[in-house]
């Protein structure tokens, strides 16, 4: 009987279904990125785990440790679980809701000593919203897309983490190498001071020359503490990336600066950029917003709710199973006046879609710029490093020539001092140039993305005891 009464309304609703205006968003990378190649094409295919190109077991261990223990990545895993639970909750809207109700009461007649009487009831209540326009399906799909976007956020976090660990590893290696260079320079300056003092004692040098060399020696000595503080700061940053307490954290770095690996193949821009996790996340956020826009538009149309209840109103608990009743109901609810709230919600969701479209496009362009920036900087920084190395060779020769001339009395010590200062400055610039070039290569690897983030499956979750000990409970 209920179905017969609702049939005309259902037919009207089905006729209206095709009237909901919505054109799904289409993501087309070829319309955004038109270039067929990047400005440079590399020689070799980079390893999937890009850091392995540096051939350092030390770096490999640090990155693996960070991927298991970094606290920011742990938060990303927790957000992924939240997204999974939110999707499961949204998906439950497709299913009917069934509730069990139990009621009971008892009275006692104290005036006539008639004892007590009991009454109670049991009920099963079923409710279900018919997804006439696809609102529930759209929200469910949006939840699934949000989950994938959150997964991409996690992978982007992991990719950035690997680059940060490698960059700090380079900072530590540079600090140790700079310290070695400074200690060597310190000894060289002590040797030159002995030479000047000896010549001064022989009347072949002036007191000014002695003071000049002592000043140069003090300058080198003064630079050493700065390197030590740089090491400590970098070590503290590494501790945080590894999810460890910086207090008492010590790291042993061999100070070996790796050779620059061959230029990796950069691939086809559309394919490379579309696979980056940050770009995928922006794409998913756009598609999710589009689904919610469709769901908001369906609120402008009637809603059909079905309900059924089976219950007993027995007079007492002994015969409660003998008095069961079945109730069926169907409600077709159509919005008439809401002050424009539903249309405003549609407009808001439309604006969200537009915002996320522009954001997706911006993320794509940023990703392309990161690749091109890294390629351009690598070329210039490689040339700069080669030029610095050539200058170091020339400065060595110049110093040796100036020293011989000074010992032979041809020139004064100022020429030697200037040559020594130039050489030692260039030696430190060479170390800095090595680190800068390798750091830019790290940026290039990150900009090109990789598939290894898809492999992430587990994380070192805290135990209940861990959280209790830190005051969570």
Residue 25 three-state SS? coil
Judge contact between 323 and 314, C-beta under 8 A.
yes
For residue 55, the Cα-to-chain-centroid distance in whole angstroms is 25
Q: Give the domain range for residue 247.
A: 30-93+134-301+341-459
Helix (H) or strand (E) holding 322: none
Q: Does residue 466 fall inside a structural domain? A: no
Q: What does the pLDDT look like over 35-85, one tens digit per residue?
A: 889 999 888 998 999 999 999 999 999 999 999 999 999 999 999 999 999
Q: Is the dihedral of CA 249, 253, 259, 264 positive or negative?
A: negative
Q: What is the pTM of this model?
A: 0.85
Is pLDDT above 90 for 235? Answer: yes
Q: Does residue 468 fall inside a structural domain? A: no
Band (pLDDT 50/70/90 cuts) for residue 316 is low
Give CA angle at 333 (332, 336), nearest 5°: 140
Q: Does residue 421 fall inside a structural domain? A: yes
Q: Does residue 333 fall inside a structural domain? A: no
Q: Does residue 257 fall inside a structural domain? A: yes
Q: What is the mean pLDDT of residues 365-389?
A: 95
Higher model confidence: residue 83 or residue 255?
A: 83
Q: What is the pLDDT of residue 352?
A: 96
Q: What is the pLDDT of residue 459?
A: 65
DSSP 111: T
Q: Does residue 165 fall inside a structural domain? A: yes
Q: What is the mean pLDDT of residues 164-187?
A: 96
Which CATH number characterizes residue 273's domain?
1.20.1600.10
């Amino acid at each position: 009987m209920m179905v017969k009464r609702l049939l005309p309304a259902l037919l009207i609703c089905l006729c209206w279904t095709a009237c909901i205006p919505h054109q799904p968003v289409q993501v087309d990378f070829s319309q955004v990125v038109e270039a067929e190649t990047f400005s440079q094409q590399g020689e070799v295919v980079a390893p999937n785990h890009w850091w392995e190109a540096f051939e350092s077991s030390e770096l490999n261990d640090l990155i693996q440790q960070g991927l298991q223990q970094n606290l920011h990545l742990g938060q990303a895993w927790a957000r992924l679980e939240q997204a999974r639970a939110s999707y499961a909750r949204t998906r439950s809207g497709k299913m009917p809701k069934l509730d069990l109700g139990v009621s009971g009461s008892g009275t006692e007649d104290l005036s006539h000593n008639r004892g007590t009487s009991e009454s109670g009831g049991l009920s099963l209540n079923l409710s279900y919203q018919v997804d006439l326009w696809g609102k529930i399906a759209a929200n469910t799909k949006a939840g699934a897309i949000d989950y994938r976007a959150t997964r991409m956020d996690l992978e982007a976090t992991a990719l950035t983490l690997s680059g940060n660990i490698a960059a700090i590893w380079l900072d530590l290696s540079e600090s140790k190498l700079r310290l070695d260079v400074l200690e060597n320079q310190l000894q060289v300056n002590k040797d030159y001071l002995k030479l000047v003092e000896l010549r001064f004692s022989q009347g072949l040098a002036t007191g000014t020359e002695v003071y000049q060399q002592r000043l140069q020696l003090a300058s080198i000595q003064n630079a050493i503490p700065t390197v030590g503080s740089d090491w400590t700061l970098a070590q503290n940053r590494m501790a945080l990336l590894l999810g460890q307490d910086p207090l008492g954290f010590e790291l042993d770095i061999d100070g070996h600066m790796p050779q620059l690996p061959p230029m990796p193949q950069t691939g086809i821009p559309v394919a490379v950029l579309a696979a980056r996790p940050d770009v995928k996340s922006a794409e998913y956020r756009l598609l999710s917003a589009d689904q919610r826009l469709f769901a908001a538009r369906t609120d402008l149309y009637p809603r059909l709710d079905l309900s059924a209840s089976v219950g007993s109103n027995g007079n007492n608990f002994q015969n409660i199973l003998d008095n069961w009743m079945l109730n069926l109901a169907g409600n077709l609810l159509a919005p008439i006046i809401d002050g424009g709230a539903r249309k405003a919600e549609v407009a808001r969701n439309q604006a969200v879609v537009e915002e996320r479209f522009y954001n997706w496009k911006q993320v794509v362009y940023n990703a392309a710029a990161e690749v091109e920036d890294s390629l351009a900087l690598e070329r210039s920084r490689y040339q700069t490093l080669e030029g610095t190395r050539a200058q170091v060779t020339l400065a060595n020769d110049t110093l040796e020539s100036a020293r011989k001339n000074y010992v032979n009395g041809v020139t004064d010590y100022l020429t030697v001092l200037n040559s020594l200062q130039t050489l030692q400055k260039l030696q430190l610039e060479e170390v800095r140039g090595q680190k800068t070039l390798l750091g830019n290569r790290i940026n290039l690897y990150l900009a090109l993305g990789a598939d290894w983030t898809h492999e992430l499956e587990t994380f070192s979750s805290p135990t209940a005891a861990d959280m209790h000990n830190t005051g969570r409970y």
